[in-house]
Amino acid sequence: MTQKVEIDNAIQRKDPFGKVSEPAYSGVLSFLRSKYTKDLEGVDIAVTGVPFDTAVTHRPGTRFGPRAIRTASTQIDWDSPYNWDFEVRDHMAIADCGDVLFDHGRLGEVPDIIEMHISAILEKAKTTLTLGGDHFITYPILKAYAAKYGPLCLLQFDAHTDTWNDEGGEDRIDHGTMFYHAVKQGIVAPEHSAQVGIRTKNRDTMGINIIDANEVHREGPEAAAAKIKQIVGDRPVYLTFDIDGLDPAYAPGTGTPVIGGLTPYQAMTVLRQIAGINLVGMDVVEVAPAYDPSGVTALAGATIAYELLSLYAYPHIDHS
Ligand SMILES: [Mn+2]
């Protein structure tokens, strides 16, 4: 016996701080092998899944996204994010509190259930990292955050604006119109919000700043980051990362792929270069494992989620 390997860290670990790793092919799942628990006392970042996918326009399947992202995260738990000068898990108490439960036969109740789920977490933990689920889930999450912080800066990575004009009413459950309603309802401040990686035509931006995919390719991710920092300033930011913001070459496993998107390098560089923003909440959505035979989309989702943890932690850490 030369080595003692811990197993099932998700349920066995005592300390919510620190890097742990175990074989990727075994053990109880949790995001990055964090403690899997409903006890959020003293937790900084609570990871939760929202396996909801019935608001999609075209291909469903993101209800399996949270589990796929947790599985993919077991391949990166051994390493610290390469672009950051600290290990976020040494500085933040992180727990995975599992998925929200809803009745699939009572769709109308789902938005309120998601909002209440996030609100309840925010009474204990400082922030949430939500794993989707289709993009609709961000709307009730935003409502929970707006109740705490007031109107938010929405920082959205996406191929689509999701602000399609929706005369059907605020109660429609649609993953393409929820930010139209979010602006109309005053929970998002459009002039201090930005959408990055857009490559679908929507003339009415609802006043949100657009940094489209062409601009990122042309000007570079550093320029995009500088622009974002100007737009959001020190206001509270909710960051939502639709995995289809990445090009389908890197993220094919999603419901509504559009070619010409961001590379992982571009997205990760933007995230690194906006370090210091006042990030208050975050999610990664639209990972659909059925269209992801190699698992690369889930790996991208897990890695981006890991980056978001570092981005969240950055202003709370002494870098001297
Ligand atoms: Mn999208």
Task: Determine contact, residues 85/307, Cβ cutoff 8 Å.
Answer: no
Q: How far is the CA of 290 from the centre of ligand 1 (A)?
A: 17
Q: How far is the CA of 161 from the centre of ligand 1 (A)?
A: 7
- Name the percent of the chain lying above pLDDT 90: 95
Tell me how far apart the alpha carbons of residues 20 and 69 are, in angstroms, rounded to a whole number.
17
Looking at residue 6, its pLDDT comes to: 83
Beta bridge partners of 128: 46
Question: pTM of this prediction?
Answer: 0.97
Question: What average pLDDT does the segment 197-210 reach?
Answer: 96
Strand 209-211 versus strand 127-132 pairing type: unpaired
Question: What average pLDDT does the segment 25-46 reach?
Answer: 97
Asked whether the predicted pLDDT for residue 5 surpasses 80, the reply is no
Q: With cut-offs at 50, 70 and 90, classify the pLDDT of residue 82.
A: very high
Alpha helices in the chain (DSSP H): 9-12, 65-73, 88-91, 110-122, 138-149, 178-184, 213-219, 221-232, 264-273, 296-313
Superfamily of domain 31-316: Ureohydrolase domain (3.40.800.10)
Q: How far is the CA of 159 from the centre of ligand 1 (A)?
A: 5
pLDDT, tens only, 260-303: 999 999 999 999 999 999 999 999 999 999 999 999 999 999 99
Q: How far is the CA of 111 from the centre of ligand 1 (A)?
A: 19
Looking at residue 26, its pLDDT comes to: 94
Asked whether the predicted pLDDT for residue 314 surpasses 90, the reply is yes
Q: What are the residue boundaries of the structural domains of the chain, listed by start?
A: 31-316
Q: With cut-offs at 50, 70 and 90, classify the pLDDT of residue 320.
A: confident
Q: How far is the CA of 289 from the centre of ligand 1 (A)?
A: 16
Q: What six digits make up the tokens of 312?
A: 């969240």
| 288 burial type by CB count under 10 A (0-12 exposed, 13-18 middle, 19+ buried) | buried
Tell me how far apart the alpha carbons of residues 6 and 29 are, in angstroms, rounded to a whole number.
14
Q: With cut-offs at 50, 70 and 90, classify the pLDDT of residue 2.
A: low
Looking at residue 187, its pLDDT comes to: 98
